[in-house]
Amino acid sequence: MVQQQSCDVVAITETWWDESRGWSTALDGYKLFRRDRKGRRGGGVALYIREAFDAKGIETNEDGVECLWVEQNGPPIIQEEALRELLRCLDTHKSKGPDGIHPRVMRELADELVKLLSSICQQSWLTGEVPEDWKLANVTPIHKKGGREDPGN
């Protein structure tokens, strides 16, 4: 079964799928983009895309690989589960950033922070504004080799 939360495009391929069965297998939040059988008996392929996208077409490159070009209708949806996973992958051995929050705290509070952070990200996208704090970084030069007075080192 497909985890629909994490896929923008879903391809269903079945050797038994032919014209005797319906192509309208519904996936909530998706629309059927393409269906074909590649001239074989069975060998059905159905390609579904999220309803939030408009397909612009399929292009075949020089290696024969087909590329699907899509365009999103409206603003992106910040998926809380994806954001939660990113928070859970923070490196706890890194130092805290300009916000003064240690990555370990962010990682351990991922479940509590995800709603707030996804809301902030969504609002940032809709308004086209990025919070000033997000533009700050702590940069510490680390000497590697050569003379310390040379800025290239």
pLDDT at 135 over 50: yes
Rg, Å, the chain Cα set: 23
Sign, Cα dihedral of 131, 134, 138, 139: negative
> Could you tell me if 77 and 52 are in contact, meaning their C-beta atoms sit under 8 angstroms apart?
yes
pLDDT tens figures, 80-127 = 888 899 999 999 998 888 888 899 999 999 999 999 998 888 888 888
Q: Which of 76, 68, 77 is nearest to 49 (CA)?
A: 68
Tokens of 103: 């990555």
Which domain does 105 fall in, by range?
A: 80-133
Q: Are residues 68 and 17 in the same domain?
A: yes
- The answer as to whether 104 is a domain residue is yes
pLDDT tens figures, 33-61 = 777 765 556 566 777 787 777 777 778 88
Average pLDDT over residues 69-76: 73
Which class for 63: exposed (0-12), middle (13-18), buried (19 or more C-beta within 10 A)?
exposed
Tokens of 140: 């510490």
- The answer as to whether 61 is a domain residue is yes
Instruction: Report how many domains make up the chain.
Output: 2
pLDDT at 100: 86
Count of C-beta atoms within a 10 Å radius of residue 99: 10
Q: Are residues 86 and 113 in the same domain?
A: yes
- The answer as to whether 148 is a domain residue is no
Question: Dihedral of the CA atoms 49, 51, 53, 56 (nearest 10)?
Answer: 60
Question: Dihedral of the CA atoms 59, 62, 66, 68 (nearest 10)?
Answer: -40
